[in-house]
DNA sequence: AGCTTATTGAAAAATATTATCAATAAGGTT
DNA sequence: AACCTTATTGATAATATTTTTCAATAAGCT
């Protein structure tokens, strides 16, 4: 199911700005803020308003086509989102973000916390932070130079 | 280890605004935004500047005395933080937030993701969402009325 | 009580986000 | 392929949020 179809099936048009934002995020390995998105598109000659970036992001997020992720410093950015239950892992070095599938791995934790707190858990926010394979390589290389 | 001591031990003074913000958050069951904190304190007669709220929050967060949590709608708020490795669970009804201890529950998930992605994981962001015991009660009560 | 200097608060500046509304363009229809 | 309907855009203005600046204040030491 491609993103154009998701838009169409929900009664939305595949407009220029939406296409630009979606494609940019799909091509980017790093989460981007609204301003970064606007600047990247402007600089590559696309003419669109900041407002359209906000609106496109809002809609695409609502439809699950992009996700809001939190960087290690607490600031937020958008990434193209895969379908299904998933989470993100972010590299602290190069700031790339990739997804991993959600699974029943959290079940035992959720059960424990429900017992402890008497909450009924319905949902969660989970992100991992670390160093991506490429940046691990670079760290090894620079260590060898010494 | 009380919060005054943490401030002092790190070379900071226990000032009026810092005390007000810290005590307000300690008494609040819900995460609060800087603006909400400022308004709550102003309305209860305390005279302090918005800027001081921002500065106090920045410092207290840095020292681990308060935590930034993300509400279900994606907006953020501050809560008084307990010490040690912990996470938060938020109620979708009344928006109260309480902490639960972190543990090795995530280990198997982290191992799986490291194997899948070749990332080296160092850190994580985890929050749970659900319905707190009190709100579960209320839901039952209101159902009985019908 | 006095001294030193971290901290505050008011005001202004810089950023970020949202609302308004006429002009435009997407996608169906002929 | 031209036309019509209306969702969507973009320019501008209005709001809201966060940061900077710097003289005045007060926390904590002596």
Nearest-angstrom CA–CA distance, B20 and B143: 40
Helices (H) and strands (E) counted in chain A, each on its own, are: 6, 5
State both tokens at B139.
């839901």
Examine the pLDDT at B146 and tell me if it is beyond 70: no
State both tokens at B104.
């090795």
pLDDT in tens, A107-119: 999 999 999 999 9
pLDDT of residue B63: 96
Examine the pLDDT at B83 and tell me if it is beyond 70: yes
Verify if strand D has an atom below 7 Å from the CB of B34. Answer: yes
Examine the pLDDT at B140 and tell me if it is beyond 70: yes
Q: Which of A68, A118, A120, A132 to mutate to test the interface with B (most CBs of B within 10 A)?
A: A120
Nucleotide nearest to B17 (CA to C1'): C8
Chain C: nucleotides under 7 Å from a protein CB?
Answer: 6-11, 16-20, 25-28
CA of B56 to C1' of D22 (A): 19
Verify if strand C has an atom below 7 Å from the CB of B73. Answer: no
pLDDT in tens, A32-45: 999 999 999 999 99
Cα–chain center distance at B81: 6
Across A113-130, average pLDDT: 97
Verify if strand D has an atom below 7 Å from the CB of A95. Answer: no
Average pLDDT, chain B: 94
A53 contact partners, CB below 8 Å, separation of at least 6: A17, A21, A34, A37, A38, A41
pLDDT of residue B94: 95
| Distance (Å) from the alpha carbon of B108 to chain A's nearest alpha carbon | 7
State both tokens at A97.
């973000």
Confidence of residue A80 (pLDDT cuts 50, 70, 90): very high
pLDDT in tens, A131-141: 999 999 999 88
CA of A16 to C1' of D2 (A): 22
Verify if strand D has an atom below 7 Å from the CB of A48. Answer: yes
pLDDT of residue A146: 65
Q: Furthest-apart CA pair in chain B: how many Å?
A: 59
Query: Residue B128 in 3-state DSSP?
Result: strand
Average pLDDT, chain A: 94
């Amino acid at each position: 199911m491609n993103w154009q179809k998701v838009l169409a099936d929900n009664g939305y048009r595949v407009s220029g700005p939406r296409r630009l934002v979606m494609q940019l995020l799909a091509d980017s390995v790093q989460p981007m803020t609204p301003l970064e998105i606007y600047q990247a598109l402007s600089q590559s000659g696309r003419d669109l308003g900041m407002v359209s970036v906000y609106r496109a992001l809002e809609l695409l997020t609502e439809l699950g086509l992009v996700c809001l992720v939190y960087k290690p410093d607490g600031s937020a950015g958008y990434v193209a989102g895969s379908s299904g239950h998933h989470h993100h892992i972010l590299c602290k070095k190069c700031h790339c973000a990739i997804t991993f599938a959600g699974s029943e791995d959290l079940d035992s934790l959720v059960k424990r916390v429900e017992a402890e707190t008497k909450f009924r858990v319905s949902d969660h926010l989970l992100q991992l932070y670390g160093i991506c394979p490429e940046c691990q390589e670079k760290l090894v290389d620079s260590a060898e130079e010494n």
